[in-house]
Amino acid sequence: MRAVDLIVKKRKGKALQKEEMEYFINNYVQGIIPDYQMAALCMAIYFQGMQKKEVANLTMAMVKSGEKADLSSLPGIKVDKHSTGGVADTTTLIVGPLVAAAGVPVGKMSGRGLGHTGGTIDKLESIPGLQTALSREDFMKQVQKINLAIVGQSGNLVPADKKIYALRDVTGTVPSIPLIASSIMSKKIAAGADKIVLDVKLGSGAFMKSQEEAFELARTMVEIGEEVGRETAAFITNMDQPLGTAIGNALEVEEAILTLQGKSQGPLRELSLYLGAAMLVLAKRVQEIEEGKILLEYLLDSGAALEKFAVMIQAQGGNSEVVKNLSLLPQASGQEEVKISQEGFVASVNAEALGLAAMALGAGRENKDSSIDLAVGIKVHVRKGERVCKGQPLLTLFYNEQKRLEEALKITSQALQFSSTPLEAEPLIYGLVTKKGEQDLKLSF
C-alpha cells in the first residue's frame, strides 16, 4: 500500500476502505507520510467528497490516533454536547448543571477559544481558583460523586485531528463537510460519549452561512454517529446575532449564573433548555423533548441547577460564593457605553463583528499561545427586529486598555444596522436532525 496510490484513488472519486484510511492516518501521525501528501488527500476529499461509510472510517481512524477517555465505569448513559462555535454562547455552563441536576452524569471535555468564538475552559477559568486540568482519576471520581465535571481536553486526544486541521487551515481545505464532520465527531467519540447532542450554528457568526450547508453538516455528523454506534442528534441554530447578551469570559460566566438564578430570560436560556432536553431523551431519562424541557425548567426555577454548578465549582477548587456574589469575577477597569443615534428597528446584529470587537479588547486569542484578558468584553443591549429610540443604550464595552477600546469601537461601528421598517422574527432553532429524520422546528424567540 502506498500513499500516492490512495491519493490517486480518491482523486478519481473512489471510496477509500477502512484499512486504507487507517494506513494513511496512522502513517501521517507517525511522520512517515509527509504533510504534502496529506494536503493532497485533503484536496481530493474537498473536490470529490466522501461516502457515508467512508467518512465514518476516517473519523474512527482519527479516534484511534491517540488517547480515548473510558467512561464505562460511570453509571448510566453518558451524553455529550458540542457546539460548532458561536458568539455569546455559554450553553455548556447552563446545560451541564441542568442535566446533572436531572440525574444524568455529565463528564465533559471542553476547549479554549480561538479567534472570535469563545471557549468554555477560558470562561470557567475566570472563576477564582477553579481548576480545569484534572487527572483522569479525579475527573472520574468527581462525575461519580456529583454527576458533573467540565475539564480541558487531554493533550493527546485525537492528535490526527490537530495535525490535519493545521494543514487544512493553510491549504484552503477547511470548508469541506466530510473533513469538518470527522474533525468534530472524532473528538466527541474519543472523549468517551455514548451519545451526542450537537448544536450546528448557522449565520454571520458561524462557519456555516447557509441553511443548506448547515443541514448537510448536521446530517453527515448524525450519519457518522449511527455508523459507529453513537446515537447523535443535531440542532441547527441561529448565529446571525449573538446568542446571549454578554461576549467575553467573565461576562459570559455572569450571564450563565444569572440564567441559572432564573433572572435572565431570552434565547440563551431557551436554547439551553432544548439542548439539555435532547440530552435527557438520549439518556432515556425522558421520552420526549417537551417532557425534558418541562423538567429542566423546574430544576432551573427551583435553584437545583444553580446549586449543582456551585458544587462543581467547589469540587474543582473554585470559590463557589461566585454564584451569589458576581463581583468576585474579574472586573474591567473601564466601561464605554455606545448609544443609538437614530430611531427605527434593528436590522442586523453581526455576531462575527462583535466577536472580533471583543477579541480586539483582549477577550480572545489571535493564536493558540496568546494570553487573554478574562475581564473584558461587550454587553449587547438590543436584538434584531427590536424597535429602538435615539439615545437608547446599544452596547457597553468593558476594557482595560484605551488603545484596545479605540480599536474595538471601530469594529462595532459597523456591527449593527438599522431599518425604518419592522422585520420578521428569525428562528432560534431551524431544525433538528436525528436518525429518525429531520424536524423543521422553526422556533422563534
pTM for this prediction: 0.91
- Is 381 a residue of the active site? no
Q: Which of 78, 81, 82, 116 is catalytic?
A: 82
3-class SS string, 157-168 = ECHHHHHHHHHH
Q: Write the pLDDT tens digit of every residue in 286-341.
A: 999 999 999 999 999 999 999 999 999 999 999 999 999 999 999 999 999 999 98
Taking a C-beta distance cutoff of 8 angstroms, is the pair 156, 67 a contact?
Answer: yes
Q: Which of 162, 187, 285, 379 is catalytic?
A: 187
What the block records as the C-alpha cell of 366 is 489571535
- Is 161 a residue of the active site? yes
Q: Which candidate, 111, 105, 134, places its Cα nearest to that of 123? A: 111
Q: Write the pLDDT tens digit of every residue in 31-85.
A: 999 999 999 999 999 999 999 999 999 999 999 999 888 888 888 898 999 998 8
**Residue 302 has what DSSP assignment?**
T
Q: Write the pLDDT tens digit of every residue in 170-186.
A: 898 988 999 999 999 99
- Residue extents of the structural domains in the chain: 3-49, 79-324+428-444, 330-419
Give 2's pLDDT tier (boundaries 50, 70, 90).
very high
Would you give the end-to-end CA distance of the chain in angstroms? Answer: 55
- Give me the residues paired with residue 198 across strands: 82, 234
pLDDT confidence of residue 368:
57
pLDDT confidence of residue 127:
97
pLDDT confidence of residue 369:
62
Taking a C-beta distance cutoff of 8 angstroms, is the pair 317, 153 a contact?
Answer: no
- Give me the residues paired with residue 201 across strands: 237
Please report the beta strands in 261-407, taking only residues with DSSP state E, as ranges in sequence order: 334-339, 344-349, 377-380, 387-388, 393-399
Domain 3-49 identical in fold to domain 79-324+428-444: no
Give 445's pLDDT tier (boundaries 50, 70, 90).
very low
pLDDT confidence of residue 405:
98
> Cα(54)–Cα(109) distance, rounded to whole angstroms?
26
Please report the beta strands in 73-152, taking only residues with DSSP state E, as ranges in sequence order: 79-83, 106-110, 148-152
Q: Which of 183, 204, 272, 320 is catalytic?
A: 183
Rounded to 5°, angle at Cα 86 from 82 and 88: 110
Pick from 52-61, 112-121, 155-164: least confident:
112-121
- Is 187 a residue of the active site? yes
pLDDT confidence of residue 367:
63
Q: What is the C-alpha R_g of the chain?
A: 22
Query: What b/e sequence results for 257-282 when a residue is b if at least 16 CB atoms lie within 10 Å of its CB, and e otherwise?
Result: bbbbbeebeebbbbbbbbbbbbbbbb
Q: Which candidate, 260, 229, 228, 233, places its Cα nearest to that of 244? A: 260
- Is 301 a residue of the active site? no
Residue 165 predicted with pLDDT over 90: no
pLDDT confidence of residue 115:
59
Look over the chain and give the mean of its residue pLDDT values, rounded to a whole number: 92
Was domain 330-419 assigned CATH 3.90.1170.30?
Answer: yes
**Section 196-208 average pLDDT:** 90
Give 441's pLDDT tier (boundaries 50, 70, 90).
low
- Is 183 a residue of the active site? yes
Taking a C-beta distance cutoff of 8 angstroms, is the pair 112, 75 a contact?
Answer: no
> Cα(360)–Cα(377) distance, rounded to whole angstroms?
9
Q: Which of 168, 230, 285, 379 is catalytic?
A: 168
Which fold does the domain 79-324+428-444 belong to in CATH? Pyrimidine Nucleoside Phosphorylase; Chain A, domain 2 (3.40.1030)
Q: Write the pLDDT tens digit of every residue in 254-274.
A: 999 999 999 988 999 999 999
* Superfamily per CATH, domain 3-49: Transferase, Pyrimidine Nucleoside Phosphorylase; Chain C (1.20.970.10)
Q: Which of 161, 199, 240, 373 is catalytic?
A: 161
